[in-house]
Chains A and B, each alone.
Chain A
């Protein structure tokens, strides 16, 4: 019999198998629902950003209209920073549910502001949403297991096994063909909604292709695992229970163990240490001689060495200098916190090599720009923007440039 004929016959068998058709339909529904609600969420986030940008702009112009010096202008004006969802974020929301992707900052010490948290509902974040990444990484393998575990056992219990093997010539290729057809069906039902959503939302071609390659490789991996178990000469329930055991091991036990180990390996400073160090530095400055603040400040900004404190009580230049010195004092802790997160994320990437579900989810989040690296990159942009703000105001504060409301329109703009 030709391979093509065999394939046609197997396809006919497969489509007559009610359980298979039901599962195919379920996969199609899950995948469609996941990408549809991902798209809806992305749209909501864009609407929210549009509102925020508008309200932020209005608020700032109202505040500016009341101010008559650089110091107050900087003190009373807030600036929105945000990280818009990428063109593939609909497939993997990742850290966007747990970490802040928007801030409202002013030119005070940044360390006290950058960790402000504006997340959604923690109750929802705890359970986690049903996005494509979750579906593909955790639900899909179970469906493959349900479909493939009894490939041989069912034929054995139906008494057709020997006959089938004898008529197929090579028994290996028979099971291969069946498994590949079923997995191929699942793959198709998974990817079609993703591709449609990707084209609809203008996802970059290379991103979509990478996602497809990842999902194909992942399904291939689970197909091989299932095939290996399915060839056991055991009853279907034993094979099914063992495969679910493998799933629990790879999706839960290994990742959970890895997380505990990684957190022990890479300790990070607590948030309280960063915040309290920064606050002490800022507040102590009020009672310290001006030189104590200006020394470390000028070290970082030699161009303002010529600045002299007006000498009596309050002065905006001095005030913002100690805000910056507050950041400088907490810098080592803040850097350690960031470096710790980078290192934890790097190790998680390594450990995930042993846990394919975690690996796939991480890779998809990476493509979607919703992984830890993207969060850190956004934090970096916020830091850069904050320092641009300082560069903008410092000439007015330390060189005594006269206040010119017209120049406020040249304020640095945050670009995501």
Chain B
């Protein structure tokens, strides 16, 4: 044990004296801290702005005057997706998905206005976030520090005496690994700070701690890989070149290649395509605007029978409101079938992509990080589903007001003259059907469970590398 510690200490002493190592670490820390700071600022501004728009939107809806309730169905309402607390570290899909969603009767709109759609385009890497720095650039740092771990001893002909003195190869590698792991822990300090901040804004300890844990495993994988190559190859220059090539393949090439493959093998129909497919499949959908639509004749008759009256005018409820409610329910049911179909197809594609995490830990950590932060596709879908539920709720609330608070006679005569026009409305207190929209992210344990497969990929990587290190350690030759 003490030999391991001594080796680790020696490694750190060597790094402290190496100008290259110090310079690289210093630059990295500066970049990481400034990006963390900028991302936190951006997400706080976004959060503030969206909350402001939401309050504005709620207030505008509630302050509408007395009106015909169906007017309010078309007036509609806006909801905004509040960013997650951990988005200060990993904004995930936040920048590529729309944040503003218009909810109205008879339609499911898409979330509009994504940040990437109006941003200065300077290449994909210009969307620098703390998460991306950990995923792509921290491994470089580990490579620069770790590539010489064993080869350096070899090149300076210190390895042979070390082994001759009775030090086993495994102890040597354990000591070097310990040094690298301590360095990884040091690298994680800014992440821990971000996680602590997110706890302050309501994130659960489980999610924040798991996030730190995931990155610990990921960076350990890189430490293990650096050490492995360093103990296998003999020339320091070829160790570094090999590790740099691995880095290029694992962090830049493979994830992007996986995107191409996923989009090719599981092609996705767009929203418009889905809409048109739906229209061809379901031609008889009505928006309920036309009461005499034959589809509703049956309803019409049964309603009269139920209330024991002969004419719609004698009904206690306004049949136009009842029918509007039924039409909305039927339409929504169909719309939801297609919306779900589309979301499932998106999830299938995303899962297929996530599966390539077996090939590259960079992809596995990216997926796990987004999932734990609540900024992944699943959470985007949660937002869409909750917004849809909210939409249906308030539209039906308005339809209820239409049925119960507006008389049929006033309703059908509304276009007769100015006075009738004014009479065909309900009290503005009905607009309270729109209450506060609160986006509910999944709980930490649900997120942890859905990050499970990506986390197991990372652990598998670490396990395989550890096994290979133990094996190499046993056969280490000068």
Contacts and interface: CB of A to CB of B under 8 A. Distances in A.
B271 interface: yes
Contact of A129 (B137, B259, B277, B414): B259
A357 B123 contact: yes
Interface string B267-295: 11111110111011001000000000000
Contact of A121 (B24, B123, B263, B272): B263
B244 interface: yes
Interface string B383-422: 0000000000000000000000000000000111100110
B128 A256 contact: yes
Interface string A66-91: 00000000000000100000000000
B102 A244 contact: no
B263 A124 contact: yes
A238 B125 contact: no
B374 interface: no
B124 interface: yes
Given A238-B20, A263-B120, A244 B244 contact: yes
A130 B353 CA distance: 13
B279 A55 contact: yes
Interface residues of A, number: 101
Contact of B140 (A126, A128, A244): A244
B376 A123 contact: yes
B27 A245 contact: yes
B377 A121 contact: yes
B263 A129 contact: yes
B35 interface: yes
A139 B120 contact: no
Nearest to B80: A272
| Interface majority SS (helix, strand, loop, mixed), chain A | helix
A386 interface: no
A362 B121 contact: yes
A117 B98 contact: yes
A270 B99 CA distance: 10
Contacts of B126: 252, 255-256, 258-259, 358
Given A33-B260, A124-B262, A312-B415, A118 B270 contact: yes
B248 interface: yes
B328 interface: no
Interface residues of B, number: 99
Given A122-B96, A137-B123, A130 B259 contact: yes
B244 A240 contact: yes
B415 A126 contact: no
Interface in A96-129: 98-99, 102-104, 112, 115-129
B451 to A, nearest CB: 14
Interface stretch (A167-175, A291-299, A324-332, A347-355): A347-355
Contacts of B75: 279, 283
Interface of B: 20, 24, 27, 31, 35, 38, 49, 53, 56-57, 60, 65, 67, 71, 74-76, 78, 80, 92-93, 95-100, 102, 109-114, 116-128, 137, 140, 144, 147-148, 236-237, 240-241, 244-245, 248, 252-253, 255-264, 267-273, 275-277, 279-280, 283, 346, 349-350, 353, 363, 366, 376-377, 380, 414-417, 420-421
Interface of A: 19, 30, 33, 37, 40-41, 44, 48, 51-52, 55-56, 58-59, 62, 80, 94-95, 98-99, 102-104, 112, 115-130, 134, 137-139, 142-143, 146, 150, 153-154, 157, 235-238, 240-241, 244-245, 248, 251-253, 255-256, 258-260, 262-263, 268, 270-272, 275-276, 279-280, 283, 286-287, 312-314, 337, 340-341, 344-345, 347-348, 351-352, 355, 357-358, 361-362, 365, 371-372
List 10 A-B pairs, minimum CB-CB distance, nearest first: A313-B415, A271-B113, A255-B126, A130-B256, A255-B122, A348-B120, A55-B276, A256-B128, A236-B237, A37-B260
